[in-house]
């Protein structure tokens, strides 16, 4: 029986267990996610029980008939408003699953903990004998309290194997990447290393899955397995990324204490605004104060960690495919696109509708957002905007309808086949059309800069059935445009920008 089988580590472990000949019953809240996992790994249907790990009846039902259990599930939110409930659910779930599995004589019972359960600043290199953390970090606290429950059962002779993974990255399990992997993707996307005095322990999710499945052999009693993986300092991090992507990762001279202060500030902001960021007190403390771990001998389980270069190469490719990294951020590792085919919108983080449609954003957005994009565009000499694979942007240079002067406008863009783009006159859902749309109607010839490439284009206003068809394509990339359309009485102008044949770029 498995909990967390639709998550990142759990999904890979479920697939590896089935491939090794085991039968899996998953305790899940979403059967659809389990079905998606089977499709992603080309697995036969997995038996399941619908329920939550905090529900005694659901846990008992899922454990019924099982020989062994793997507890991978955890509920922890970086949103400060959800922390207390997340911690309580994680502890309650671990206690219930482990106690009930032991009461039903399952052997082994595998508890997926974390190095965070043992990490305290100044604790030195971690071992399996370190006490649970007392640092009070949200994620670490949840793991440490669950660790206490697991160790109590071990002391009573329960055949529980506690496993301590580090930051786990790698290809997704269906659509699940895991919190550490998504944080690492956001870190890679910045292209900047904030300090030299930092390091992170990284392991590959595929190796972790192999280890958990290898631990399913019964008869070994209580065990603890440390698997910190590769210790990657910032020089190694920069070199690996440079070798794979061709990008330079400059290092800023920030002291580690400044990063920890920024993490605390981000946590305070997160109590008010639901931001999605790798910057938090826990991650900055681990990044700047990690002293490594004394890993267990994994060769006795037939497991050897693969090269860190392979892990990063596969992870970067997966992050790009999911929209967590843009074409520019993946650099030389980007797969060659087929110019005759239109790109499809990848999955990834998008601005929440409740933020974009809020009254403060609609008032302040038109004053702040375009200026920020223009400033970044100028600072980088046209090489970049605040865009991503899921939310691409371009800079439009149009001719003023009344003044005849060049106007510079940052726009959300939808890439089409043969280098064409769609742009929408959303104007933050205001009641009037934006000025740049009038400029294109008066002077269709314009220029765009998209990710550093300047291209002359001709704009064409779409109408009728053609507009309706292209509108569906546009909102596939920017779903918020449908909500903008709903809150304004005007029809949002939709233009197609087509490269001018024979035009020159730079």
The C-alpha atoms of residue 144 and residue 44 are separated, in whole angstroms, by 36
The C-alpha atoms of residue 479 and residue 37 are separated, in whole angstroms, by 25
Tokens of 181: 């992997």
The pLDDT of residue 138 is 63
**Which element (helix H / strand E) includes 318?**
helix 308-321
The pLDDT of residue 506 is 41
Which residues, listed in sequence order, are joined to residue 2 by a DSSP beta bridge? 26, 70
CB-based contacts of 280, cutoff 8 Å, min separation 6: 78, 263, 266, 267, 270
CB-based contacts of 194, cutoff 8 Å, min separation 6: 251, 252, 254, 259
Largest CA distance in the chain: 83
The pLDDT of residue 504 is 46
The C-alpha atoms of residue 63 and residue 65 are separated, in whole angstroms, by 6
Under 8 Å between Cβ of 4 and 176: no
C-alpha atoms less than 13 angstroms from C-alpha of 46 in its C-beta half-sphere: 38
The pLDDT of residue 66 is 97
Which residues in 132-144 are b (16+ Cβ under 10 Å) and which e? bbebebbbbbbbb
The pLDDT of residue 505 is 45
The pLDDT of residue 72 is 94
pTM above 0.75, yes or no: no
The pLDDT of residue 493 is 96
Walk along the chain (506 residues) and give the pLDDT tens digit of each residue: 999 999 999 999 999 999 999 999 999 998 999 999 999 999 999 999 999 999 999 999 999 999 999 999 986 554 444 456 667 888 899 999 999 999 999 999 999 999 988 988 888 899 999 999 876 666 667 788 899 999 999 999 999 999 999 999 999 998 888 888 888 898 898 888 888 888 999 999 999 999 999 999 999 999 999 998 999 999 999 999 999 999 888 888 888 888 888 888 877 776 666 555 567 777 788 888 888 899 999 999 999 999 999 999 999 999 988 888 888 888 888 776 566 666 767 655 455 555 555 667 666 667 777 777 677 767 766 666 666 666 788 999 999 999 999 999 999 899 998 889 999 998 887 888 999 999 999 999 999 988 778 899 999 999 999 999 999 999 888 888 888 888 788 999 999 999 997 644 44
The pLDDT of residue 463 is 94
The pLDDT of residue 381 is 65
C-alpha atoms less than 13 angstroms from C-alpha of 252 in its C-beta half-sphere: 10
The pLDDT of residue 288 is 84
């Amino acid at each position: 029986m498995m909990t967390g089988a639709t998550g990142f580590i759990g999904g890979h472990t479920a697939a590896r267990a089935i491939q090794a000949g085991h039968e899996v019953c998953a305790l899940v809240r979403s059967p659809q996610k389990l079905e998606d996992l089977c499709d992603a790994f080309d697995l036969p249907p997995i038996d399941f029980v619908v329920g939550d790990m905090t529900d005694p009846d659901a846990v008992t039902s899922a454990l019924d008939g099982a020989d062994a259990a793997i507890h991978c599930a955890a509920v922890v939110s970086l949103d400060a408003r959800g922390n207390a409930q997340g911690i309580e659910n994680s502890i309650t779930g671990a206690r219930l699953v482990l106690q009930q599995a032991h009461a039903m004589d399952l052997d082994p019972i595998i508890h997926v903990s974390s190095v965070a359960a043992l990490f305290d600043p100044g604790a030195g290199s971690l071992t399996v004998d370190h006490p649970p953390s007392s640092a009070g970090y949200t994620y670490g606290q949840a793991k440490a309290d669950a660790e206490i429950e697991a160790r109590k059962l071990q002391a009573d002779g329960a055949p529980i194997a506690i496993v301590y993974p580090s930051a786990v990255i790698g290809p997704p399990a269906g659509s699940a990447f895991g919190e550490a992997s998504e944080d690492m993707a956001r870190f890679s996307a910045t292209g900047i290393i904030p300090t030299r005095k930092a390091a992170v322990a990284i392991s590959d999710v595929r190796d972790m899955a192999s280890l958990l499945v290898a631990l399913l052999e019964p008869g070994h009693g209580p065990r603890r397995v440390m698997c910190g993986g590769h210790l990657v300092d910032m020089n190694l991090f920069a070199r690996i990324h440079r070798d794979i992507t061709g990008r330079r990762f400059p290092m800023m001279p920030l002291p580690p204490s400044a990063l920890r202060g920024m993490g605390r500030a981000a946590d305070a902001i997160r109590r008010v605004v639901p931001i999605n960021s790798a910057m938090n007190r826990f991650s900055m403390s681990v990044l700047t104060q990690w002293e490594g771990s004394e890993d267990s001998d994994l060769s006795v389980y037939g497991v050897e960690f693969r090269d860190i270069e392979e892990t990063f190469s596969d992870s970067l490719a997966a992050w790009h495919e999911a929209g967590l990294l843009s074409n520019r951020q993946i650099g030389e590792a980007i797969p060659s696109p087929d110019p005759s085919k239109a790109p499809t919108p990848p999955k990834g983080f998008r601005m929440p509708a409740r933020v974009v449609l809020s009254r403060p954003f609609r008032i302040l957005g038109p004053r702040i957002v375009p200026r920020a994009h223009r400033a970044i565009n100028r600072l980088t000499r046209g090489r970049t905007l605040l865009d991503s694979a899921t939310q691409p942007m371009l800079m439009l240079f149009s001719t003023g309808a009344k003044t005849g002067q060049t106007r510079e406008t940052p726009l959300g863009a939808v890439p089409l086949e043969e280098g064409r783009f769609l742009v929408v006159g959303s104007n933050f859902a205001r009641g009037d059309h934006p000025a740049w749309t009038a400029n294109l109607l008066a002077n269709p010839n314009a220029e765009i800069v998209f990710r550093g490439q300047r291209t002359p284009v001709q704009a064409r206003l779409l109408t009728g059935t053609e507009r309706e068809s292209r509108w569906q394509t546009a909102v596939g990339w920017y779903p918020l445009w449908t909500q903008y359309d709903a809150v304004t009485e005007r029809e949002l102008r939709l233009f197609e920008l087509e490269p001018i044949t024979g035009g020159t770029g730079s």
